[in-house]
Structure 1
Amino acid sequence: MDRRKFLKWGSFLTISTAAAGLAGCSNSDDDDDSDTGDGGNAGPIQYPQGVASGDPRPDSVILWTRAIGEDATAVSVRVQVASEENFTQLLVDELVSAEPDWDHTVRHKVIGLDAGTDYYYRFVSGDSISPVGRTRTAPLENADVAQLKFAFISCQDWSVNHWAAFDELLTQDLDFVVHLGDYVYETVSADFQSGAVESAHAPLTLPDGTVRDDGATYATTLADYRTLYRSYRSDPRLQALHARFPVIGIWDDHEFSDDCWQDRQTYETTDDETRHTPRRRSASQAWFEFMPADVSLDLENPSFDNIQIYRAFRFGTLATLLMTDERLYRADHIIPEQQVGSDIGSRYFVPKSLLSQVEAQKMANAGGQLGPVSILGDTQRGWWKTQLRSSTTTWNLWGNEVSLLRMQFNGTLAVAGLLAQGLVAAIPALAPLVPEIAKALAQDLANADHSSGKPVTDYPALSAVLGQAGIPAAVVASQIKPLLDAQLPPSLLLDEYLLNADQWDGYNAERKDLMAFVRDTGIRNLVALTGDIHAFFAGPVMDDYDANHPQPIMVDLVTAGISSNSFFSYFKSVVDNDPTFQVAKPLIYTEENGVVVNTFNDTLRQFNADWLRYIDTDAQGFATVTLTAAKLSCVFNKLKPLDGGQAPATPAVASQTLLTVTAGTPGVTLGA
């Protein structure tokens, strides 16, 4: 390979400049471009994953396809771009090569385009013509943009539920789509993928893969990850979405490994003691090959972080969009799995006080630095602050993988409430005293003897309340105490917990640092667009959730997954199957006449009412946004469930919830 060709393919991004009035011939002087037809391909060419565009800027866009021939050799195709769908006037007609080293994918950047303009593109090799894609450039940086419309999506597990969301998105007139990660799932046949799935999605298999003890297989090699992307992009609905809208994407964890950090996997308690650099690099390369993102990959760099995907976009004077990478640079979870022997207590259901203590100790050991307790890493955090400090747009949007909203749970208060309700059910005359009884039970549980692993108490505070109601202490001791004792949970549940320390709740010091920066720098109208957690949430992000009077700084809007099983379903599975947590079942759901009733929403609202302004923990769906200088209007689109093994017919949206963020106010209003 000569030096010129190496420079062309070294970072796997070819570039051409749009020029008006081409007569259908190549405008390139590359050595490879002497043939103006099919480039000498041996036979017909196929485009099995369709076409895509991404990362729109005022003068450029990335175009993508995967072109395969009858053998494994390189395939020559022409990239054609026009202002009209009939391609009578070509602006680009460039011969490029789909190389086997890059899985026959093409990533081509077109520059010299007009701002805020629709373009059509296709790939041509002789008589083999790809589907036609439409893309749209961003407006000029100083343009007075009246409105932007876009969607943000995440978590599209091939193996559960359905992808009717993409059909719904195709009915929208959007400027672009933001994808927040979990574009593919690295596992097949995992427990969380055991639910019903539409018949259009056959079971996936991996050419290599590693089988876990639980029977799941996870992608391990470059061939595995490429297989996932090829399979996901074989779905015609996802192809159509990419062909219609430019996508601005980042990854989350499942593009590499569930709950990953850097090049560490976390399937088993001791997994992340070992680096998995080749696996991480393979996952990054496959993402790079299949996503139309304006980023570069350095295969000569032997490290796990040989790619940078965080980047910024600007849409006139209306909005800046920052896309961050919250996996490649993050530190280990504050409480390592090895310390507690499980992901419970490390990543999930983590005692809040313990996490705070360990975080403070790690920072003290690092001289007060955030590096050991960071999601973003020092360099990216500095970039994030610099971008916001220099922003002059009305709105600042943050493509943020994991939620910034506090999701806490007070086990003592929750169990006391359940016990009070149970007591009233047994003695209905006590109904007027429910608040006092719950408060007394909380006091008794807090003061109980927990040395045996289960609370032991004579319920003195409760006895005092019931005594005022005419129930003597002897009756409390002989009749009510045994009734309550039979319902007591293990003592470990009687604490204050954070539900998910894999998200920003687990990296509280850095979150406080970012919010203090936003507050003190005077940055206004900052809104995070978030995915990951398979539920709809919305609310203000506080400067310090643990302060006596926390102040709102920005807004977090969290979309449910396209198809992944819901946040609620995971907690339901826990209380159904783990004896330790079965006593908490009423906090997650109840059953009425055989119908499951979600109580998890109310449980979360009870302990997070100041910031969780909207909650739907049992949903699949997507979010659409209309942005003007005056307000951001977000619609949470909740999807209908599977219909007899088929995706629901259009309209597949079961309900829509409108949320409004008014410029100048870091808060969320339900409705217009």
Structure 2
Amino acid sequence: MADLLPSRRNVLGYGSAGAAALMLGTGLWSSDSAWSAPALPDDPFTLGVASGDPLPDGVVLWTRLAPDPYAADGLGGMPQVPVRVQYEVAADPRFRRVVRRGSVVATPELAHSVHPEVGGLLPDRVYYYRFRAAGHLSPAGRTRTTPPAHARPADLRFAFASCQAWQDGYYTAYDHMAEEDLDLVVHLGDYLYESGVRTNRRGVTTDPRFHTETFDLARYRLQYGLYKAEEPLKKAHARFPWVVTFDDHEVENNWAGDLSQADTEPDQDPAVFRARRAAAFQALYEHQPLRHTQMPQGPHLQAYRRLSYGRLADLTMLDTRQYRDDQPDGDGESATSTARFDPRRTILGARQRDWVLRNFSRSSAQWQILGNQAPMGQTDKDPGPAELVWLDPWDGYVADRNRLLAEADRRGVRNLVVITGDRHQNYAWDLKRDYQDPGSPTVGAEFVGTSITSGGDGADMNADGEKFLAANPHMKFFNAQRGYARVRVDHRRWTTDFRVVPYVQRPGAPVTTRATAVVEDRVPGVRI
């Protein structure tokens, strides 16, 4: 991924906070000023540490100073003054061989979060990192750089996850993920849910501050404090670098472009929704290991990007929310919608779609991986002759799906694999060039991963699964338990293990591999 320094004009457009205040936490701008070091009697590292978007020579680190992450004003119990935060990166877990030291400034404008971008590291190496601030030392994190651009690594090992509604259960799956042997974690969206948690499947009484839906910046910050304080999530963040994107619930359910779902927004006013989206995106940036190129500019955040893992694999993260047309005929399900076939309708937007296609042509990677938010393959819910589909995912944007898959085929993509979240179910299925044509060729594979908690305790099979397997001949596997997907990619094949837990409404569940699905090199489609 090529990162460019932002222009002065762009920096000054980041909102009401001053440009220097925003950029001091990235390490790209520095200052020799003696920032205050307030006495903090309580540990400010309650939300843990993280790393993300690794490169061959570096990685972005993250933490947020928040001695009281549940403070009602969303400021984490910090005084409204800048605080210098030091960081160390070492080649060993005891920090005897420190290879990089530096400091950044945590400012109240960004909720005292910092995102130092550390360079000068060696490729394909494990490193350890930690922070110091106000007399306190953070827990240590572990991260890893990617192989050089022209290297041919033996394999890539990663997990992908999505959909972790706090109110629906415990994050036990992350305890198990943290014990895996992985190079990175990909989170495909719904890291946060905007809804209140007064009613919850954990069976616990919650503070009234968390009972309302999130609309403003203080409330989004408070919600992130609730989620990120979970120990299993902190453990998984500290263990691996993460590549993170968003879906809908980080802002609001089923939003599309500048349009709210119109639940409590007056007349679905786009200006009102843009203000909410700006608050949601700022809070998202404040709580994730994102680079300065993902720093939001008001209601806009550059989320689509590409990460290369040598010549073995390219990971392209998509954004299927900001640039889409409104869902056709509402955002529910339909057996009669003709608008979903309109060739003018898009889920990616022309600019993003053209960027993806150019990368297909330019890439020399053996595996093209698309990190995608909502299922790309067709999900017919009617085993009969009709097609009953949801209109929020790619089934509502058929022409865009067909263009993308046809171009991947035409441009000679060697192996196309899509990894997806959203559905709270596990699928393995073939991607067809055109689902309306029974003889359409298979051009790729998609693995839809279940939720971490959303939906509460799951089931191995349910009524949805029985309908899907009967109605969708391209579907090879269905499961509706909770968990994550574990992937190993090498030069011969792609292997997905569906790792599931039997319950989430109480802690301590064991993990098992429910099924394993394979894609062979140069053989599009899934084999169970």
Offset of 1:294 from its aligned partner?
1.9
The reply to whether residue 141 of structure 1 matches residue 146 of structure 2 is no
1:318-357 to 2 correspondences below 5 Å = 318-335=312-329, 346-351=330-335, 354-356=336-338
Q: Confirm or deny that 1:129 pairs with 2:129.
A: no
Q: What displacement does 1:409 show?
A: 3.4
- Contact 1:264 1:273 (8 Å CA) reproduced: yes
SS in 2 for 1:282: helix
SS in structure 2 at match of 1:296: helix
Question: Residues 396, 295 of structure 1: CA spacing in aligned structure 2 closer, same or farther, 3 A cutoff?
Answer: farther
Q: Is the 8 A contact 2:158 2:487 kept in 1?
A: yes
Indicate yes or no: 2:496 matched with 1:648.
no
Partner residue, 1:14: 26
Residue range with higher mean Cα deviation, 121-130 or 503-512: 121-130
Q: Which residue of 2 aligns with 1:604?
A: 468
Q: Does 1:196 align with 2:201?
A: yes
Distance change (3 Å), C-alpha of 1:384 and 1:271: farther
Match of 1:613 among 461, 465, 476: 476
Q: CA deviation at 1:378?
A: 1.1
Larger Rg: 1
- 1:623 has 2:485 as partner: yes
Classify the secondary structure of the residue corresponding to 2:179: coil
CA distance in 1, matches of 2:427, 2:180: 22
Matched, 1:521 2:411: yes
Are 2:48 and 1:47 equivalent residues in the alignment? no
Confirm or deny: 8 A CA contact 1:161 1:198 kept in the other structure: no
Q: What is the TM-score when the length of structure 2 is the normalising length?
A: 0.88
Inter-CA distance 226–378: structure 2 relative to 1 (3 Å threshold): same
Instruction: Say if 1:531 and 1:298 are closer, same or farther in 2 by CA, change over 3 A.
Output: closer
Q: Distance in 2 between matches of 1:7 and 1:631?
A: 47
In structure 2, the residue corresponding to 1:510 is in which secondary structure?
Answer: helix
Aligned to 1:287: 284
Equivalent residues of 2:495, 2:516 under 8 A apart: yes
- Three-state SS of the structure 1 residue aligned to 2:388 is strand
For the 8 Å contact 1:41–1:76, the answer to whether it is kept is: no
Give the Cα separation in 2 of the matches to 1:40 and 1:378: 48
> Is the CA contact 1:640–1:648 (under 8 Å) kept in the aligned structure 2?
no
Matched, 1:410 2:357: no
TM-score, structure 1 length as denominator? Answer: 0.70
Letter in 2 for 1:647: P
- After TM superposition, list the pairs within 5 Å mapping 1:305-384 onto structure 2: 305=300, 307-335=301-329, 346-351=330-335, 354-356=336-338, 358-359=339-340, 363=343, 370=344, 373-384=345-356
Question: Identity, % of aligned pairs?
Answer: 31
1:658 aligned partner: 516
Question: 1 CA distance for matches of 2:375 and 2:63?
Answer: 32
Sort the Cα spacing of 1:90 and 1:514 in 2 relative to 1 into closer, same or farther, 3 A.
Answer: same
- Rate the CA distance shift 1:41–1:568 in 2: closer, same or farther, 3 A: closer
Distance change in 2, residues 1:377/1:12 (3 Å): farther
Structure 2 residues without counterparts, runs of 5 or longer: 1-10, 68-77
Q: How many residues align?
A: 501
- Which structure has more helix as a fraction of its residues? 1
Q: C-alpha deviations, 1:114-149, integer Å up to 9, x for none?
A: 110111111113641000111101111111200111
* Counterpart pick for 1:228 among 216, 223, 228: 223
Instruction: Identify if the C-alpha distance between structure 1 residues 29 and 277 changes in structure 2 by more than 3 Å, giving closer, same or farther.
Output: closer
* TM superposition shift of 1:243: 0.7
Match of 2:179 in 1: 171
Read off the aligned partner of 2:422 and give its amino acid letter: D
Q: How does 1:550-589 map to 2 (within 5 A)?
A: 550-565=440-455
AA at the equivalent of 2:333:
F
Describe the shift of the 1:14–1:603 C-alpha distance in structure 2 as closer, same or farther (beyond 3 A).
closer
For 2:25 and 2:443, locate their aligned partners in 1 and report how far apart those are by CA, in whole Å.
39
Q: Which amino acid aligns with 1:203?
A: T
